[in-house]
Amino acid sequence: SVHNFDYDYHTYRKMYKSTFTEEGFDNHMIWSSQLLFKCPVPPSLVETVKLGSSVVDDYATLFVDVVPIRTPPRYGFPTQFFQPRFADVPKVGMDGEIDFDAEKEWGDSHILPRVEDSGRWENIPICKPSLMTYAETKDNAETDNKIAIRQEKEVESDPEGNEKRWNLIACAWTSASFHTRGERRHITDNVRRLREWAEFHFMTGFDQIVIYDNSEAQDEGEDTLEHVTDLFPGQITRINWPSKVCNNRPGTGDNKGERSSQYAAESSCRLRFGAHANWLGSFDIDEYLVPMGGYNTMTDVLHDMDKEGKKVISFQSMRAWPRIDLLEEPKKFTENCPEGCFHPKVREDLTFLQTYNCDQEEPPRKNVMPAEKQIYRPDYVLLHFVHYSTVTKVSQLNKKQTEEYGITFKRGYKERDVKVVDEIKEATMLHSKSVVWDQTRKWEKTCKLNNPICKVGFPFPEGKHRSDGVLKNDEGYTYNCFVNKRIENTWVPKLEAALQNRPEAG
């Protein structure tokens, strides 16, 4: 087997001294979050696997064992382990930097552990190719053989993208309910959210959504999202994904949380479905990608990005607040909250899109979070990690190849084929992350401060701005967010109409 790209070379391009550290605090080195590799298929079985004919009556007849080759950890300088094709890359000049010499490192009698002593994952079933297994056509007219032929064409290099089955795919790792990092909060509104989120994005140009349903790993799997995904036949592919996270600690400090299930789901979606799409992105179902300016669909936005030669499109993130006047009437309680709290609940007759349409800044927003999301070319991005296109085809080029591509080679790599969207003229992302009861402590006081620490929205009147100074409504609450008029006047009515035409989830 071989890795999909060179991890040590990427460590070098990211200006780090080693790919792994003996202390184990490597979480910030996100390119090593997923060790991707390709298993060779024996020539005699290639056709069988490609056609999916080894799966009989939904049962696999071919299996594979994965056996690790155990070698000492590579804590040294990444240049020690370079492949020959990186021989033209300048060394970093650190003291003690030498080329890796297996005989010198391990001796001339080093023996790998016996296979039976190495540990293994046994009897992993070989399933049908992804399109045969999951992607339904609206009329279910394609036979397995036709799908296999289509798959083979799509995987082949096609710069025009004419043979791709889909233009734009959204992937989402989600569940019917979940606990936030640190187990601090329990979120239970995802069933309703998913139906709305999917409806909105089909309306704005996405033509396939892949849901990695993590519900069975949450709350003992009492409910799943299947009854929602079934409302969108031929449009949503649901993959049951009961993998648990390694730990759910907060994402700060030295011992950060590891959402391994999410990282694996994202890579799975890119590898299994990316070959059949021109563009792909992974999102949370509280993130709305909204066409702005003269654009009516994300398809049109990406068409123009393509003309500019961009491979990665970034959407900045800023948490929006739920508008107090659109929530259900606050019912104050003091149990576990002596200061007074309430449950911010979106009214049944309104959408999350409208209720949370209240950004802390007017576009273009400046004080954004380091939590951008991206749409990217899956044939260009080799590894994506939640917010970032971590490894790309160009970042893996050696010195000669980089210069042939038209870039001056530097050790520190900076992606040039990326663009942050213009939030006024092109598109924006509304982040409608749920505000829960313990974030409303003392809200009746804090929301009246001149610089409020307030997580419920009091929108500025039209025509008023922060530059006008501290402004308050008649009840003394300080205005703290802005309504996006394009969302309010165009997309909210369209979404409401689309939801009315879609049956309710059972």
Question: Model confidence over 92-105: pLDDT tens digits?
Answer: 655 555 666 767 76
Q: Which helix (H) or strand (E) holds 125?
A: strand 121-125
Return the top range by mean pLDDT from 65-69, 71-75, 231-235, 427-431. Answer: 427-431
User: pLDDT tens digits for 166-188?
Assistant: 999 999 999 988 776 555 667 78
Cβ pair 316, 418 in contact under 8 A: no
Residue 147: pLDDT band with limits 50, 70, 90: low
Would you list the DSSP string of 40-63? PPPGGGHHHHHHTTTEETTEE--E
> What phi and psi values does residue 397 have, to the nearest 5 degrees?
-75, 145
User: pLDDT tens digits for 63-84?
Assistant: 998 888 766 677 878 888 888 8
Look at the block and give the residue holding tokens 């009147």.
Answer: 461
Amino acid letter, residue 285: I
Segments in 218-308 forming alpha helices (H): 226-229, 260-273, 298-307
238 C-beta neighbours (distance < 10 Å), count: 18
Q: Which helix (H) or strand (E) holds 46?
A: helix 46-51
Q: What is the pTM of this model?
A: 0.90
Q: Is the pLDDT of residue 489 over 50?
A: yes
